[in-house]
């Protein structure tokens, strides 16, 4: 039976290696730690991720060599882009060593990283030298009071801006800047963020607040729809849509009509993009998640440490991917959504 989502996907539907909805495996997001030096209210609220929270023990974490071995198998199956994430990836020591190992995998087109920027400034050049291509830095406001209320550890805006500047100077470009917009918290910062990053060469991406995990107490009325965000910015500086760079691009792109560059909106709540989702996620304890909103992962660390060959791991990946039918965001309003979901800090954004 041809699924509804598969219709219209052309020859890819029949090609080997696609999932049950006709989507190829192209991107791998690799979480390198479940820890973070921030406690963003929408991701790792302090009440849950407090002093008593049990983070993973060292022995449970994949080593850089284990991550690289798995990544190599993923690349052999069609993955072209790797993104390093977390938790906060830069709290993992010697991360540039992992970047260098990943950069040595033949067939990798791009290695990127998402970071909160706190530890980026002194590391940017070493990461670039190791083979990192680009960074995305998260920043929710230019107003210290608002930003510190969101990161909840009193971290100042200026230090994140230093990280962004260092990344640009090192050539980790274009730098993208992720801003999660939460109603009543930082929607008032949208225009000042747009003003600041217009013409800077950096690409601001405004993200709808998502119901990832179960700890952030998400409510639909706290989501500022992407259309509203575009209306706010477009009212000040006229915008026009830009074609996606490639199939499956998460952000909808817009450009300023006056030539001051582009921005993106990520509308995972109001305009789900499940049908083009080509991403797999690897948690730092070696579980493969086929959706950001999955309730469970598939263990890869067990077979890896039990001595499985690359061929055996590839067979497991193929079987998991071919059975993939996730499209949570499209089903969000239906009664069938899972009530338990993995936390964003466990698998990365
Ligand atoms: C989980 S973080 C991991 C990487 C890094 N610590 C950082 O903050 O950039 C990845 C991205 O997910 C975003 N994010 C986290 N929780 C979110 C939520 N509930 N809704 C939308 N985006 C979220 C963050 O703002 C960040 O841009
Ligand atoms: S969004 Fe990133 S910086 Fe904020 S708590 Fe989550 S992992 Fe940490």
Going by C-alpha positions, the residue among 81, 119, 38 that lies closest to residue 279 is: 81
Taking CB atoms and a 6 Å cutoff, what residues make up the pocket around ligand 1?
Answer: 36, 42-43, 85-86, 88, 114-116, 138, 178, 180, 207, 209-210, 212, 216, 344-345, 348-349
User: Which ligand ends up closest to the CA of 139?
Assistant: 1
Is the pTM for the entire model greater than 0.85?
yes
Residue with the two structure tokens 């890896």: 304
Taking CB atoms and a 6 Å cutoff, what residues make up the pocket around ligand 2?
Answer: 36, 38-40, 43-44, 86-88, 116, 138, 345
Q: What pLDDT sits at residue 347?
A: 64
Distance 84 CA to ligand 2 centre (A): 13
The span from the CA of 17 to the CA of 24, in Å, is: 6
SS3 state of residue 70:
helix
278: alpha, beta or left? (left if phi > 0; alpha if psi -120 to 50): alpha
Nearest CA to ligand 1 atom 8: 116
- The string over 136-167, giving b where at least 16 C-beta atoms fall within 10 Å of a residue's C-beta and e elsewhere, is bbbbbbbeeebbeebbbeebebeebbbbbbbb
SS3 content of the chain, % helix, strand, coil (to 5): 35, 15, 50
Q: What pLDDT sits at residue 3?
A: 36
Q: What pLDDT sits at residue 339?
A: 57
Q: Which of 344, 346, 347, 348 to mutate to test the pocket of ligand 2 (most atoms within 8 A of CB)?
A: 344
The span from the CA of 107 to the CA of 170, in Å, is: 24
Q: What pLDDT sits at residue 13?
A: 37
Q: Which of 43, 284, 341 to mutate to test the pocket of ligand 1 (most atoms within 8 A of CB)?
A: 43
Average pLDDT per 10 consecutive residues for the chain, totaling 349 residues: 35 62 95 98 94 96 98 97 97 98 97 98 98 98 98 98 98 98 96 98 96 79 95 98 83 96 93 87 96 90 98 96 84 56 71
- The string over 194-227, giving b where at least 16 C-beta atoms fall within 10 Å of a residue's C-beta and e elsewhere, is bebbbebebbbbbbbbbbbbebbebeeebbbbbe
The span from the CA of 310 to the CA of 162, in Å, is: 41
Distance 52 CA to ligand 1 centre (A): 22
Nearest CA to ligand 1 atom 16: 43
């Amino acid at each position: 039976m041809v699924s509804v989502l598969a219709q219209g996907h052309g020859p890819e539907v029949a090609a080997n290696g696609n999932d049950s909805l006709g989507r190829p495996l192209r991107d791998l997001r690799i979480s390198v730690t479940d820890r973070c030096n921030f406690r963003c209210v929408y991701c790792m609220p302090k009440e849950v991720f407090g002093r008593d929270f049990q983070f993973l023990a060292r022995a449970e974490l994949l080593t850089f060599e284990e991550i690289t071995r798995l990544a190599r198998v993923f690349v052999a199956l069609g993955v072209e882009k790797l993104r390093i994430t977390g938790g906060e990836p830069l709290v993992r020591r010697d991360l540039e060593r992992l970047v260098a190992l990943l950069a040595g995998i033949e067939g990798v087109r791009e290695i990127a990283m998402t970071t909160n920027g706190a530890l980026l400034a002194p590391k940017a050049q070493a990461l670039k030298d190791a083979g990192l291509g680009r960074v995305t830095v998260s920043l929710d406001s230019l107003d210290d009071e608002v930003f510190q209320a969101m990161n909840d550890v009193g971290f100042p805006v200026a230090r994140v801006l230093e990280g962004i500047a260092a990344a640009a100077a090192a050539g980790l470009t274009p730098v993208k800047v992720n801003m999660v917009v939460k109603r009543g918290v930082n929607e008032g910062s949208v225009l000042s963020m747009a003003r600041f990053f217009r013409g800077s060469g950096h690409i601001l991406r405004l993200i709808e607040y998502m119901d990832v995990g179960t700890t952030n107490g998400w409510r639909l009325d706290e989501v500022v729809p992407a259309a509203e965000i575009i209306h706010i910015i477009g009212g000040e500086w006229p915008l026009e849509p830009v074609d996606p760079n490639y199939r499956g691009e998460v952000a909808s792109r817009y450009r300023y009509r006056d030539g001051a560059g582009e921005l993106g909106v990520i509308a995972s709540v109001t305009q789900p993009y499940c049908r083009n989702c080509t991403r797999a996620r690897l948690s730092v304890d070696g579980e493969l998640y086929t959706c950001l909103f999955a309730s469970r992962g598939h263990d890869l660390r067990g077979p890896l440490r039990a001595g499985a060959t690359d061929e055996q791991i590839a067979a497991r990946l193929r079987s998991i991917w071919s059975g993939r039918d996730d499209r949570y965001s499209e089903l969000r309003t239906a009664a069938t959504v899972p009530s338990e979901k993995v936390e964003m800090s466990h698998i990365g954004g």
